[in-house]
Structure 1
Amino acid sequence: MGWTQKVALVTGGVSGIGFGVARAFAAAGMRLALTYRDEAHRADAAHWFAQNGYDAPLFLKLDVTDRARFADIAQELDAHFGRLDVLVNNAGVSVFGPTDTASHADYDWIMGVNFGGVVNGIVALLPLIKRGGPGGHVVNVASMAAYLSGPQAGIYTASKFAVRGLTESLRYNLAPFGIGCSLVCPALTKTNAWDSALKRPDAFAQSGFAPVDRAELEQFGTAFDAGMDPLEVGEKILAGMTRNDGLIFTHPEFADDFREIYEASLAALPDEEVPEARREIERLRREAARAAAGGKAIGLADLT
């Protein structure tokens, strides 16, 4: 598929992975709208596009938890471009702490941005993509945390598991329209994502986690220096979109983890006979999933 002159919106598109995606898309000839919160990052991104001879993106200030603003952005995109071909739901926060001490505010903030932000983008902007007909694409950026849990990342992990489940299901729903849908699970990338805890909104101040130790957080941030270049991540995302991959892994270093997950999952299944009626229901489910992936709209009647 050619991407020249396609219109893409990338949330959180002026820094980190989002900016890597924006640069890869620009090189592919796409027209861009990039959302941002930080004015300095927006200015840096604008300078890069001008310095490298690309058309200036449409910069749109956005908090991805703001549904009203998303609705406004849909109208702005329509007025400015008259279309939207690609949506990349990328913006997120990386906040860690032991789940057993987490407060409602911790859940509301992290889930609200990482999962709710994806939902808000889909609800507000998918109608514009559908209006353009076949050839559009939705990309939801999750994390390897969508598969791998850990003792300091409970809510973050839950948010990424949620994005994974939503995206895998949405891919079935969009196939009949000729619209692609990809889940992206990047791992360690050279970004400033580690400093999210320093940007906690006042509305979510009542955290159950220990107060942020800036020195400890900065030490944790040094791990990101070993990460993949965000542009490489963006290029891999573009390549996966072009192949219409449902799942895009950008980092190769997780074979041992997936082997352990696979073996533990198989071992956890009870070793017993399955009643034929139950077996038939699962056969129908698998058949419906294959048909949906092939572009058929599936209803409840297809599952029994």
Structure 2
Amino acid sequence: MQAQDNAVGQAGGQADGWAGQVALITGAGTGIGLGVARAFSDAGLALALTYRNEAQRAAVAAQFAAEGRPAPLFLPLDVTDRARWADVVAQTVAHFGALHVLVNNAGVSVFGNTDEASHADYDWIMGVNFGGVANGLVAALPAIKAASGKRSVVNVASMAAFLPGPQAGIYTASKFAVRGLTESLRYNLAPHGIGCALCCPALTRTNAWDSALKRPDAFGQSGFAPVSEAELRQFGTAFDAGMDPYEVGQKVFAGMARGDGLILTHPEFADDFREIYEASLAALPDEVAPPARLEIERLRRAAMAQAKAGIAVGLADLT
């Protein structure tokens, strides 16, 4: 409870400039998306929340009313639907007058041996987890660039963006892709004064484990073994030990408000990161690189530093 209280205080202390800004949050009908929505509401942001079914919308509306929060703008959205994305952004701007923050949160968690995966498995998981983020960026960035004041893009990935697993190959690939996209996009948005954060939560108290039970018919030709609902529900009990989504949301807001490029919400991964770091260093050849290559890498680092400082960088800066 102490960690959650600290997150509340930290977020509240950094809310200056964010109150009144407009945030569009995907997958906000449940789980982390809802936790982020509540934390952003604490900081005084106006909210447009996307959801997948009417039961989610009604439950969130009732919760916001019971907690005395301003009513959000609710917008149904399948993040793979590009035309609908355009409508959602247009409706948000029409309703509030601007859009300042995009939180790409919606995703699916599906497990199975990657060597058995079908095209449909790849198309579904990558289409939602990576394609949904890309669709959101294409639709929302023009409006965010046109707005004024504090602005940001937060792409919610997962600790799977750093830590692969034997049953989550495509899921892991999608989160690695979101990580790479976000870390590159950050340099492009800095000259516009727009923050860009990669958020990688770990085990959270959500129903993310049940994605396989909601698989769309269009992607029904799976190469994975048939899902045992009993086994899946047993796996889902692990999520009971997860962090409260509201606490995740508070940490997301605090990180965004600080301007962090990377938001890690869970503390239990020091050993994993140390192993990645040490294995990466050990894999480098023990030899001296030629001066011409060293100069190219010096220019790359200098260009990255310029971009991070808000100076636009082009190809000419890399040679």
Q: TM-score normalized by structure 2?
A: 0.94
1:56 and 2:71 matched: yes
Task: Give the count of matched residue pairs.
Answer: 304
Partner of 1:66: 81
Secondary structure, counterpart of 2:108 in structure 1: coil
Partner of 2:312: 297
2:209, 2:236 within 8 Å by CA — same for their partners in 1?
A: yes
Aligned equivalent of 2:117, options 74, 95, 102? 102
Aligned equivalent of 2:108, options 76, 82, 93? 93
Partner of 2:280: 265
2:17, 2:150 within 8 Å by CA — same for their partners in 1?
A: no
Structure-1 separation of matches of 2:112 and 2:317:
43
1:133, 1:178 within 8 Å by CA — same for their partners in 2?
A: no
2:195, 2:259 within 8 Å by CA — same for their partners in 1?
A: yes
2:117, 2:223 within 8 Å by CA — same for their partners in 1?
A: yes
Q: TM-score normalized by structure 1?
A: 0.99
Structure-2 separation of matches of 1:99 and 1:90:
24
Q: CA deviation at 1:134?
A: 4.8
1:129, 1:136 within 8 Å by CA — same for their partners in 2?
A: yes
Q: CA deviation at 1:254?
A: 0.2
Q: Which runs of 5+ in 1 are unaligned?
A: none
Structure-2 separation of matches of 1:133 and 1:293:
20
Amino acid at match of 2:218: A
Q: CA deviation at 1:2?
A: 2.5
Structure-2 separation of matches of 1:272 and 1:301:
29
Percent of residue pairs identical? 75
1:180 and 2:190 matched: no
Partner of 2:140: 125
1:158 and 2:189 matched: no
Amino acid at match of 1:121: G
Deviations 1:92-124 (A, max 9, x none): 000011100000000000000000000000000
2:18, 2:150 within 8 Å by CA — same for their partners in 1?
A: no
Secondary structure, counterpart of 1:260 in structure 2: helix
Structure-1 separation of matches of 2:317 and 2:85:
35
Secondary structure, counterpart of 1:123 in structure 2: helix
Secondary structure, counterpart of 1:197 in structure 2: helix
Structure-2 separation of matches of 1:292 and 1:6:
25
Secondary structure, counterpart of 1:92 in structure 2: coil
Aligned equivalent of 1:233, options 230, 237, 248? 248
**Shift >4 Å, 4+ stretches:** none
1:208 and 2:223 matched: yes
Amino acid at match of 1:233: V
Partner of 2:59: 44
1:11 and 2:30 matched: no
Secondary structure, counterpart of 1:228 in structure 2: coil
1:20, 1:232 within 8 Å by CA — same for their partners in 2?
A: yes
Amino acid at match of 1:51: A
Deviations 1:7-34 (A, max 9, x none): 1010001200000000001111111000
Secondary structure, counterpart of 1:248 in structure 2: strand
1:198 and 2:198 matched: no
Question: Counterparts in 2 of 1:133-152, with a 5 A limit?
Answer: 133-152=148-167
Q: CA deviation at 1:82?
A: 1.1
Q: CA deviation at 1:77?
A: 1.1
Q: Which runs of 5+ in 2 are unaligned?
A: 1-15
Give the RMSD, CA atoms, in angstroms. Answer: 0.7
Partner of 1:248: 263
Amino acid at match of 2:99: L
Partner of 2:11: none
Amino acid at match of 1:238: F
